[in-house]
């Protein structure tokens, strides 16, 4: 059984891309491994959320993950700031991270370009905090997307540097992990690349959103002018809708519309209506559970507490051992 760590940034509501790209593999991993999933609320401070947004976002993400089936009996689902040892380890590891290497982080360079007015030290040392998230639990596997590979590489660098500096083999090298072997990419509704919060509201199918809004977005999704003769290739926009259909609809439904497209008799209105029906049926039970959890303060408190207990036990042990290795000795 491997140890798995993954962090979830609390930034807005979950969409279909998050579910099929991340949460679904969490659900599988919690059955097979010892998992630590956490809400990265300290990381999210780099964007300066208001106190009430910070709290609401954490609550939202917690409720969503419970609603989607993260089982607190099987894994630890915790809030990063509930584990003080993480912040303490972050202080120690920062001493062994060099400015030059941190400045070479792609995400840091991106932020520097996109938010020049808020380049705080937390952004620069983001990879150190992420390394601590992972190393605190001695993770073997870290389920992350391609954009996080460099951070993981840095985690290995920090782990090896610590080992080398102190002549130990204390930290092991975590590996990136993809559940399916290939990374799932859920396309957006606006025809451009992957479904993402950053491409705007019209692009994403959000779980915690009412049925009418979902239908409206799908009916407005980008398509093309339609096939003019049989056996034409699908345009990217149309393929996107078929790709989403492949996630939520029956095989026979997809085959039916595929066939109509091949014959050039497809009506996009019908395709979209069917897709909307199937998305709504998929989303509805999860949305109901999200609403339930958002209003069940006791269940949220219980989940957060159980998660924090497991994570604190593991991270505190690491922190104590790291201090010992580094030469901190108690005088009292």
- Where does this chain bind ligand TRP (CB under 6 A)? 5-7, 9, 40, 43, 130, 133-134, 142, 144, 148, 151
Q: Which residue out of 13, 194, 273, 317 is catalytically annotated?
A: 194
CB nearer to ligand ADP: pick between 202 and 326: 202
70's contact among ligand TRP, ligand ADP, none, with CB below 5 to 8 A by partner kind, is none
Structure letter (DSSP) for residue 21: I
Q: Which residue out of 24, 74, 112, 197 is catalytically annotated?
A: 197
Q: Closest-CB residue for ligand TRP?
A: 7
Cα 167 to Cα 8, 164, 325, 326, distances in angstroms: 33, 5, 9, 10
Q: List the Cα angle 316/322/324 in 5-degree steps.
A: 105
Assess whether 28 carries a catalytic annotation. no
Q: Is beta strand 34-39 parallel, antiparallel or unpaired with respect to 76-79?
A: parallel
17's contact among ligand TRP, ligand ADP, none, with CB below 5 to 8 A by partner kind, is ligand ADP
Identified binder of ligand ADP from the candidate list 145, 219, 236, 325, rule CB under 6 A: 145
195's contact among ligand TRP, ligand ADP, none, with CB below 5 to 8 A by partner kind, is ligand ADP
Please tell me whether residue 39 adopts helix, strand or coil conformation.
strand
Q: Select from 28-36, 191-199, 217-225, 307-315 the region that touches ligand ADP (CB under 6 A).
A: 191-199
The edge-to-edge listing of strands for the beta sheet with 3-8 is 76-79, 34-39, 3-8, 141-142, 175-176
Q: Is 195 in the site for ligand ADP (CB under 6 A)?
A: yes
CB nearer to ligand ADP: pick between 290 and 322: 290
**Minimum distance between the CB of residue 37 and ligand ADP, rounded to whole angstroms?**
11
Question: 262: closest CA among 234, 242, 239, 238?
Answer: 234
Please tell me whether residue 14 adopts helix, strand or coil conformation.
coil
Assess whether 185 carries a catalytic annotation. no
Q: Which residue out of 111, 217, 294, 310 is catalytically annotated?
A: 111
User: Looking at the DSSP assignment, which residues form a beta bridge with residue 4?
Assistant: 35, 141
How many residues belong to the chain? Answer: 332
Identified binder of ligand ADP from the candidate list 186, 271, 279, 319, rule CB under 6 A: 186
User: Looking at the DSSP assignment, which residues form a beta bridge with residue 6?
Assistant: 37
Q: How far, in Å, CA of 230 to CA of 302, rounded?
A: 58
Identified binder of ligand ADP from the candidate list 50, 198, 225, 252, rule CB under 6 A: 198
Positions marked catalytic: 111, 194, 197
């Amino acid at each position: 059984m491997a140890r798995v760590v993954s962090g979830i940034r609390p930034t807005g509501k979950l969409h279909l891309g998050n579910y099929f790209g991340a949460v679904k593999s969490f659900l599988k991993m919690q059955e097979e491994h010892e998992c630590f999933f956490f809400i990265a609320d300290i990381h999210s401070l780099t964007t300066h959320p208001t106190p009430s947004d910070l709290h609401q976002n954490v609550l939202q993400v917690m409720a969503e993950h419970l609603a989607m089936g993260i089982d607190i009996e099987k894994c630890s689902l915790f809030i990063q700031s509930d584990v003080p040892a993480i912040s303490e380890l972050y202080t120690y590891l920062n001493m062994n991270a060099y400015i030059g290497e941190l400045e070479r982080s792609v995400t840091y360079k991106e932020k520097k370009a996109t938010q020049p007015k808020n380049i705080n030290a937390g952004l620069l040392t983001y990879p150190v905090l992420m390394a601590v998230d992972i190393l605190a639990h001695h993770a073997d596997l870290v389920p992350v997307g391609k954009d996080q590979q460099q951070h993981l590489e840095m985690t290995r660098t920090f782990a090896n540097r610590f080992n080398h500096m102190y002549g130990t083999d204390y930290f092991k090298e975590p590996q990136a992990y993809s559940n399916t072997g290939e990374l799932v990419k859920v396309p957006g509704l606006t025809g451009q690349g992957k479904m993402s919060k950053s491409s705007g509201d019209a692009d994403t199918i959000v779980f915690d959103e009412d049925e009418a809004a979902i239908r409206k977005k799908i009916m407005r999704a980008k398509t093309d002018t339609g096939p003019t003769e049989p056996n034409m290739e699908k345009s990217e926009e149309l393929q996107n809708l078929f790709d989403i259909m492949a996630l939520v609809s029956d095989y026979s439904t997809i085959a039916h519309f595929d066939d109509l497209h091949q014959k050039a008799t497809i009506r996009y209105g019908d395709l979209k209506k069917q897709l909307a029906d199937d998305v709504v049926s998929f989303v509805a039970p999860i949305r109901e559970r999200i609403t339930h959890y958002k209003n069940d303060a006791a269940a949220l408190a219980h989940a957060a507490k159980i998660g924090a207990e497991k994570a604190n036990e593991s991270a505190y042990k690491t922190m104590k051992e790291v201090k010992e290795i580094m030469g901190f000795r108690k005088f009292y």
